[in-house]
Structure 1
Amino acid sequence: MVRGALELLEGLQELVVLCFPRNGRRSEPGMSGRRTASGQLKFRSCAVMEACQTPIHGRMNPSGISVIIPSYNSAEVLPAAIESVLAQTLPPDEIIVVDDGSAPDADGMDRTADVCAPYFKHVRLIRQANGGASAARNTGIARSHGGWLAFLDADDVWEPEKLATQVAAMRQNPEADFCITAARVWSESEQTFVTMSYDGPLDPARIQAALLVRNVFTGLCSSMLARREAIESVGGFASGRACEDRRIAIELLRRHRALILPTPLIRQQPGPAHWRDPRKHGAEMERLIADYAELFRVLDPSGRLRRRAVARVHERTGMHYLENGDLPTAAKHLRSAALMWPFMANPWRVLVNYCLGRLRGRAASASKLAGCMIGIDILLRRTIMTS
């Protein structure tokens, strides 16, 4: 019954859009600034829909912000994400949850629909076949109406002042087209949330270079607030491509001005999905490097940036195997990392501990010791040659 009611509501919403279109985009009170021309729009213009949804907090003055939450088998964590949006001191105009083909539970029930049912006055649920988080975000963009777009992963939450802080900052910096914030991430070792913020150079080219090596923006998608025109000008999120968060940040930086706030305005608690099959993760990173081969050449003709990026892939993959107890495979990747970029600390630290037989409190076998000694000898020679 709940599912049928939600589908009926969605149909009524679409009918309102089709029968009562409005020309132009929703006005954005208090949001001044330049408008960047959209060079390659891939999304249809959406009329403003004022029926079927109650203003959040009873607010009648629109903020012009649409919030899009992609969800895949996230029924357990989705309520916290929705509640954090409803708790915003600057409420958005609409909240869209895009269910990306979630599987029904053991009883065949649609858990996402059940979770969204209590919020039906404020939350619009859209379903689609599984296509990945990027495809879900793009669906939300196409079905949204705000001149500003904010994204929230289903397993993240916002601080109450997140949108208000970003809007105030964008007012003070009207030349910026998108805004990224710091994040608070759960630390298993410290059993508390720690702040992860970007403290590197603000030059767009150097930020792009940093993103090609590693993800320097924790919780990038969940922290982003962007002008619709900026997102549309880069074609939205890259569906079916690896590292979609880094890709959209790089593409936006190539065309638009960014505003980076050091204030942590999202909370992220990584789960199993954050570390997938290391081989798949490594392959995705290699694909990212290959796709941006020309950008690597433009940013650093010497090739050092690309070597560093490949080394980083081996380092991350090696550390993952290490955490899961696969020492030989970890050593292989860490040796490869150090051969390509011998100035990273992790390969040296791990290999030295490995050779001393103290890794994870277990004595290393003679063959492992011999292999690591050979690896360290190679690393020393490589370091001397490149220094």
Structure 2
Amino acid sequence: MKISVVIPMYNSRNTILNTLNSVKNQTILPFEVVIIDDGSKDESVTVVEDFISVNSALNIQLVKQKNRGVSSARNVGLKLAKGDWIALLDSDDEWLPTKLERQIQVLNENPTIDFLGTNRNGEYFDKILWKKLGVLTRISPKLLMVKFIFVVPTVIFRKKIVLDAGYFDETQKYAEEGNYFIRIAQKYNCYLLNESLVVTGDGKAHFGHSGLSGNLKEMERGELKNLKDALSLKIINHFQYSFLVLFSILKYFRRIVIVKTRQE
């Protein structure tokens, strides 16, 4: 199994080294690491170049482009990836040492799985609304619209998916990964490994902090767009769309309350 790790990077001089060390410290190393610098204005590129110079055991490719956004950077990485599996990682997140080994083990034991995500920051899901979750649970596109289970740095998927499902929507700035994963789940066997193998955002709460996920209003707009796209793709019907829109808005207001309470 050849795994290509795709890492978009923008002004990440303070975090990218920890991210790369988390790849270096994997109990099973990937086939290659593709880093796309999205027009960084800080010393991110220098940090990566220095890391490459002293870590020849890792097959790292650094590609520089003008700033076009994270989706563009990820798409470039997807196109360059030579492995038969792709693992996504962001430049401010870290994998626990056994992340790839554990996913490879599950994939070898379950060859029908096309896409496998894990948990992060110590979380474990007993159930999501009506759906009870075990150690390994198939995730439908409708369930992804109820709760965004798959987080970018936790997932690994077959490269062939890209040839069919296409790429990230570069016109969508928020919740773009949700849009992509819902489209994939419509056609492929997507599973959650209910184990925490990734640290995101330095272990902070999943929303309400700086960065893209910190903009709650724009994130909500992105999620509502995803629901509209799902309706267009006939993943959901009009009744389900109306219910999910209402549910999403309620979640949005709940998040606002949580953030305000946290700030007090």
TM over 0.5: yes
Structure 1 residue corresponding to 2:123, chosen from 179, 195, 204: 195
Question: What is the alpha-carbon distance in structure 2 between the residues aligned to residue 198 and residue 75 of structure 1?
Answer: 37
Query: Equivalent residue of 2:104, what SS?
Result: helix
Match of 2:143 in 1: 210
Query: In the alignment, residue 313 of structure 1 is paired with which amino acid?
Result: Y
Query: In the alignment, residue 84 of structure 1 is paired with which amino acid?
Result: S
Structure 1 residue corresponding to 2:75, chosen from 121, 133, 138: 138
Query: In the alignment, residue 175 of structure 2 is paired with which amino acid?
Result: C
TM-score w.r.t. structure 2 length? 0.82
Question: What is the alpha-carbon distance in structure 1 between the residues aligned to residue 138 and residue 182 of structure 2?
Answer: 12
Question: What is the alpha-carbon distance in structure 2 between the residues aligned to residue 238 and residue 199 of structure 1?
Answer: 30
Match of 2:31 in 1: 93
8 Å CA contact 1:81, 1:154 repeated in 2: yes
Query: Equivalent residue of 1:164, what SS?
Result: helix
Residues 154 and 146 from structure 1, CA distance in 2 versus in 1: closer, same or farther, beyond 3 angstroms? same
**How large is the RMSD of aligned CA atoms in angstroms?**
2.4
| C-alpha deviation, 1:302, in angstroms | 8.0
Structure whose alpha-carbon radius of gyration is higher: 1
Structure 2 residue corresponding to 1:262, chosen from 194, 211, 215: 194
Question: What is the alpha-carbon distance in structure 1 between the residues aligned to residue 147 and residue 257 of structure 2?
Answer: 15
Structure 2 residue corresponding to 1:178, chosen from 115, 121, 146: 115
Equivalenced residue count is: 245
Match of 1:288 in 2: 226
Match of 1:231 in 2: 162
1:307 matches 2:246: yes
Identical columns (%) = 24
Question: What is the alpha-carbon distance in structure 2 between the residues aligned to residue 214 and residue 318 of structure 1?
Answer: 18
Query: In the alignment, residue 52 of structure 2 is paired with which amino acid?
Result: Y
Single out whichever of 273-282 and 245-254 deviates more from structure 2. 273-282
Task: Say which structure is richer in strand.
Answer: 2
TM-score w.r.t. structure 1 length? 0.58
8 Å CA contact 1:132, 1:240 repeated in 2: no
| C-alpha deviation, 1:288, in angstroms | 2.6
Structure 2 residue corresponding to 1:166, chosen from 103, 117, 125: 103
| C-alpha deviation, 1:275, in angstroms | 4.1
Structure 1 residue corresponding to 2:49, chosen from 116, 126, 130: 116
Question: What is the alpha-carbon distance in structure 2 between the residues aligned to residue 259 and residue 281 of structure 1?
Answer: 24
Residues 132 and 302 from structure 1, CA distance in 2 versus in 1: closer, same or farther, beyond 3 angstroms? closer
Structure 1 residue corresponding to 2:13, chosen from 68, 75, 81: 75
Residues 297 and 115 from structure 1, CA distance in 2 versus in 1: closer, same or farther, beyond 3 angstroms? closer
| C-alpha deviation, 1:212, in angstroms | 1.9
Question: What is the alpha-carbon distance in structure 2 between the residues aligned to residue 280 and residue 309 of structure 1?
Answer: 13
Match of 2:88 in 1: 151
| C-alpha deviation, 1:102, in angstroms | 1.1
| C-alpha deviation, 1:112, in angstroms | 2.2
Match of 2:64 in 1: 127
8 Å CA contact 1:88, 1:161 repeated in 2: yes
| CA displacement 1:324-371 (0-9 Å, x = unmatched) | 5xxxxxxxxxxxxxxxxxxxxxxxxxxxxxxxxxxx5xxxxxxxxxxx
Residues 252 and 230 from structure 1, CA distance in 2 versus in 1: closer, same or farther, beyond 3 angstroms? same
Question: What is the alpha-carbon distance in structure 1 between the residues aligned to residue 51 and residue 235 of structure 2?
Answer: 48
**Structure 1 residues not aligned, in runs of 5+:** 1-27, 29-63, 105-109, 185-193, 325-359, 361-387
| C-alpha deviation, 1:318, in angstroms | 4.7
| C-alpha deviation, 1:259, in angstroms | 2.6
Question: What is the alpha-carbon distance in structure 2 between the residues aligned to residue 80 and residue 114 of structure 1?
Answer: 11
Residues 275 and 175 from structure 1, CA distance in 2 versus in 1: closer, same or farther, beyond 3 angstroms? closer
**Structure 2 residues not aligned, in runs of 5+:** 132-136
